[in-house]
Amino acid sequence: MKTAFITGASSGIGRATAVALAQVGFQLVVTGRRRERLEELARQLAPTPVHLLLFDVRDRAATDAAVAGLPSDFLQIDVLVNNAGGAHGLAPIQDGDPDDWDQMLDSNVKGLLNVSQAILPGMVQRKQGHIINIGSIAGSETYANGNVYCASKAAVAALSKGMRLDLLPHHIRVAEVNPGAVETEFSTVRFKGDNDRAGSVYKGYKPLRAEDVADVIQFMVTRPPHVNIAEVLLLPAAQAAATTMRKDL
């Protein structure tokens, strides 16, 4: 049985991806910081074998220890989905909160690097593996007040390309999925728990669901070994650009 390692699996795209990959026969390592949510996910996915890891991807030592401590049945990671991260705040650069900047750069960029570095030695040794990094349309289309978040996702795009080049000799596929508007806890986190403001982001049109993104990831990882769907831009039909929506509802 192949093993998928999914970061940020306690909610949203990560959780939906865990469900989607279990449906096609993967056993799972799911990571996050909310034990109760991961435990509930594991119960939902039974009898699929699921191993829970509780750590913060921003903490390199904790990441290394978590991966090194995997039980033998889960040590061989076939697919890594770097999903953990998020947006914090929406302010012009002169009014930005440096704590928000640290959160985004440390989770969206350094977290991806920490987890990848911990898992890549095994993939390189086996000359086999598949990495999918969750980016964003914001990585290619900077929008007003999105400054540092957009920069962090542009870094994910650059890292994905760099990883694909560096890992090519080792037969490791690297891909990037860039969603547009997805209705998850993303906006609730960005607006510090302001649910009314978060909900207004998705009013007037039908956004993507986390399951829509997970369906694409499921398709990507089930392609034959000679196929790599390297980049996907996934938008709701009502979205044409990062901040251009057609209001239908």
Q: What is the set of active-site residues? A: 149
What one-character DSSP code corresponds to residue 105? Answer: I
- Tally Cβ neighbours within 10 Å of residue 124: 16
> What whole-number distance in Å separates Cα of residue 100 and Cα of residue 240?
28
> What whole-number distance in Å separates Cα of residue 45 and Cα of residue 27?
10
38 neighbors 30 (Cβ within 8 angstroms): yes
- Tally Cβ neighbours within 10 Å of residue 243: 14
Q: Which of 150, 25, 164 is nearest to 87 (CA)?
A: 150
Q: For residue 238, give both structure tokens.
A: 């009502």
The H or E element spanning position 232 is strand 231-234
Peptide linkage before 98 cis (omega within 30 of 0): no
> What whole-number distance in Å separates Cα of residue 50 and Cα of residue 38?
10
